[in-house]
Amino acid sequence: MQDKINEIEKSIDEAVKDVQSSKTLQEIKMRFLGKTGEISSLMKNMRDVPPEQRPSMGKLLNALREWTEERFDAIEKRIKDFELKKKYKEEKIDVTLPGRVTEDGAYHPNTLIRNELISVFAGMGFEIFEGPEIENDYYNFTALNTPADHPARDMQDTFYLSNDLLLRTQTSAGQIRVMENKKPPIKILSPGKVYRSDDDATHSPMFSQMEGLVVDKGITLCDLKGMLDEFARKIFGANVKTRLRPSYFPFTEPSVEVDVSCFECGGKGCRLCKGTGWIEVLGAGMVNRHVLEGCDIDPDEYTGFAFGMGIERIAMLKYGINNMKLLFEGDVRFLKQFKGER
């Protein structure tokens, strides 16, 4: 028996010699101390030992088991310590390391102006309507009192996609879509991209407009003027005034060109206003009765006004941008300057 015990002790020493992890140690431990382990089976064999030898054998076996348990406990403690230290080392965080900096973005000047316009007009009760960028001839021209061969078509160099389809040249096309579907009172604001074959420092083949349309009983040019005054004060400054100059658009009658007093020099005349004291900002007018009729709105009962402005133009004026291309090139050095603007 003593031989057997020595043998087991030896094989335990052998087995635990190179253990590195508590998992393998646990497996080895089961091999000896588990229910069907070597020591446990020796204990089970006690049944076959003659009764007079049992006490001394029992003592030996108990001693072996205690020895084995202590041995495993000691190794386990050593391994646990080692594993813990290793974990600490691996998970150590260097709190002195500087954080990663993510640079703040900036709103594009177009977005800034569009949001500002929306907020000003939403404050006056306008709702947003967005029409399609691909329009047909009817919405972009004919329904806007600009039939085929009308000379006013030459005011806008159009990109045609087919005989009938085109890239809309003006957000005014949305006026018709709204009036066909909704009866007065109407008060909508329609932002969006428009396209014209036109390209220089102040024109781009793609640009953005903001259209407004108000139709109700008793709407007059005075309402338009009052609303434009409010718009000019909010966008360009509290002291800015507006003036209307006669103009021509087929879908408004009368039509006006709207100027604001120069917010740079206060009207005295400077480079921005080219010495005139006034800056042209948008086109507007009273909705032509033919346009109302075409949308089944009785022009003897209802009147309305419409206005349309170029968002890039407002952005260029407001931020002192001298070339429209800057608004489309996406140059970060340019865009960075709008950081923090809301």
| 175, 291 contact by CB (below 8 A) | yes
- For the bound state, the minimum distance from the C-beta of residue 160 to ligand PHE, rounded and expressed in Å, comes to 17
* Closer to ligand PHE by Cβ: residue 112 or 286: 286
Give the residue, chosen from 172, 190, 204, 242, that forms a contact with ligand PHE under the rule CB under 6 A. Answer: 172
Q: Is the torsion defined by CA of 48, 50, 52, 57 positive or negative?
A: negative
Three-state DSSP class for residue 203:
strand
Interface with ligand PHE, residue 236, by CB under 6 A: no
Distance from C-alpha of 295 to C-alpha of 177, rounded to nearest angstrom: 9
Instruction: Please name the helix (run of DSSP H) or strand (run of DSSP E) that holds residue 41, with its range, or none.
Output: helix 38-44
Question: Letter for the amino acid at 133?
Answer: E
Q: At what angle do helices 311-319 and 109-122 cross, to 10 degrees?
A: 110
Interface with ligand PHE, residue 288, by CB under 6 A: no
* Closer to ligand PHE by Cβ: residue 61 or 186: 186
Distance from C-alpha of 15 to C-alpha of 116, rounded to nearest angstrom: 78
- Alpha-carbon torsion, ordered 55, 58, 60, 62, to 10 deg: -140
Select the residue whose beta carbon is closest to ligand PHE and give its number: 308
| β-pair partners for 195 | 206
* Closer to ligand PHE by Cβ: residue 236 or 249: 249
Interface with ligand PHE, residue 188, by CB under 6 A: no
Three-state DSSP class for residue 210:
strand
Give the residue, chosen from 121, 231, 263, 307, that forms a contact with ligand PHE under the rule CB under 6 A. Answer: 307
Q: Give residues with Cβ within 8 angstroms of 279, minimum separation 6.
A: 259, 260, 261, 262, 263, 272, 273, 317
Encoded one letter per residue, x for contact with ligand PHE by CB under 6 A and - for no contact, window 107-136 reads ------------------------------
Interface with ligand PHE, residue 308, by CB under 6 A: yes
* Closer to ligand PHE by Cβ: residue 68 or 172: 172
* Closer to ligand PHE by Cβ: residue 195 or 236: 195
Q: Where does this chain touch ligand PHE (CB under 6 A) — which range of 82-90, 224-232, 281-289, 316-324?
A: 281-289
How many residues bind ligand PHE (CB under 6 A)? The answer is: 11
| β-pair partners for 187 | 214
Interface with ligand PHE, residue 250, by CB under 6 A: no
Interface with ligand PHE, residue 263, by CB under 6 A: no
Q: Comparing C-alpha atoms, which of 38, 69, 71, 42 is closest to residue 57? A: 42
Q: Where does this chain touch ligand PHE (CB under 6 A) — which range of 81-89, 102-110, 158-166, 300-308?
A: 300-308
- For the bound state, the minimum distance from the C-beta of residue 266 to ligand PHE, rounded and expressed in Å, comes to 27
Within its chain, how far is the Cα of 319 from the centroid?
A: 23
Can you read off the two tokens belonging to residue 231?
């718009």
Give the residue, chosen from 207, 249, 263, 278, that forms a contact with ligand PHE under the rule CB under 6 A. Answer: 249
Q: Which residues bind ligand PHE (CB under 6 A)?
A: 170, 172, 211, 249, 252, 283-285, 306-308
